[in-house]
Amino acid sequence: KVKSQLEEKEGKTFDIFTAVEFKTQVVAGTNYFIKVHVGNDEFMHLRVFKSLPHESKPLSLHSYQGSKTKHDELAFF
């Protein structure tokens, strides 16, 4: 659901977009930290926010980090 948001921010499309790892952080909603394979040996770390159910808001791409590798640790950011 956040692929199009990332593509818009990056100004390109991703043929491959596969989540390979994630962590969560409960705040006033939930932050998901997701390692995504975007092709070749390229990975990106995404921070996606899911609001509380009663707010009825869509998932939002809060921030991201590019130029990651498969072995980079997925950390909170």
> pLDDT tens for residues 16-45?
999 999 999 998 999 999 999 999 899 999
41-61 mean pLDDT = 92
Asked whether residue 75 is domain-assigned, the answer is no
Asked whether residue 58 is domain-assigned, the answer is yes
Longest dimension (CA), the chain: 40
Asked whether residue 76 is domain-assigned, the answer is no
Q: Which domain holds residue 38?
A: 1-69
pLDDT of residue 53: 86
pLDDT of residue 76: 86
Mark out the alpha helices in the chain (DSSP H runs). Answer: 3-10
- The number of residues in the chain equals 77
pLDDT of residue 71: 92
From residue 45, alpha-carbon distances to 58, 61, 64, 75, 77 in Å are 19, 11, 5, 9, 9
pLDDT of residue 23: 95
The total of structural domains in the chain comes to 1
